[in-house]
Amino acid sequence: MTTQSRKRPAVPKQALLAKAFHWVNIISLLLMMTSGLQIYNANPVFGGRAGWHFPDFFLLGGWLAGGRHWHFAMMWIFSLNLLLYGLYIFITRRWKRRFVSTSDIQVLQAGQNPKRKAYSWHRLVYTAIIPVLLLAIASGLSMYKPAQLHWLSGLFINWQILRTVHFITVPIVVLFAFVHSLLALKVGQIRLVKSMFT
For residues 48 and 163, the model is more confident at 163
The torsion angle over the Cα atoms of residues 78, 182, 169 and 145, rounded to 10 degrees, is 0
Q: Do 24 and 111 belong to one domain?
A: no
Cα Rg of the chain, angstroms: 20
The total domain count for the chain is: 2
pLDDT given at position 198: 66
If asked whether residues 122 and 53 sit together in one domain, one would say no
Among residues 162, 154, 158, the alpha carbon closest in space to that of 136 is found at: 162
Which residue from 94, 93, 111 is spatially nearest to 102, judged by alpha carbons?
111
pLDDT of 99-145, one tens digit each?
888 888 888 887 777 778 878 887 888 888 889 999 999 999 999 89
Q: Which residues have C-beta within 8 Å of that of residue 197, sequence separation ≥ 6?
A: 19, 22, 23
pLDDT at 110: 79
Average pLDDT, the chain: 83
How would you class 78 by CB atoms within 10 Å of its CB: exposed for 0-12, middle for 13-18, buried for 19 or more?
buried
Same-domain check for residues 48 and 142: no
Q: Is residue 85 part of a domain?
A: no
Q: Which of 14-18, 160-164, 192-196 has the lowest mean pLDDT?
A: 192-196
Give a yes or no: residue 84 inside a domain.
no
Domain end, chosen from 75, 107, 129, is at 75
Query: How far apart, in Å, do the first and last CA atoms of the chain sit?
Result: 31
How far apart CA 119 and CA 14 sit, in angstroms, is 17
Domain containing residue 145: 99-198
Give the model's confidence band at 10: pLDDT under 50 very low, under 70 low, under 90 confident, else very high: low
DSSP letter assigned to residue 92: T
Asked if residue 8 has pLDDT above 60, the reply is no
Query: Average pLDDT, stretch 164-170?
Result: 92
Identify the pLDDT of residue 68.
93
Mean pLDDT over 68-76 rounds to 93
Q: What angle do CA 157, 159, 165 make, to 5 degrees?
A: 80
Instruction: Check: CB of residue 197 under 8 Å from CB of residue 19.
Output: yes
pLDDT at 177: 84
Confidence (pLDDT) at 181 = 76
Task: Check residue 140 and give its pLDDT.
Answer: 92
Considering the domain architecture, whether residues 131 and 65 belong to the same structural domain is answered as no
Model confidence at 47: pLDDT above 80 = no
User: Measuring CA to CA, which residue among 36, 84, 91, 45 is closest to residue 64?
Assistant: 36
**pLDDT grade for 154, boundaries at 50, 70 and 90:** very high
Residue 176 lies in a domain: yes
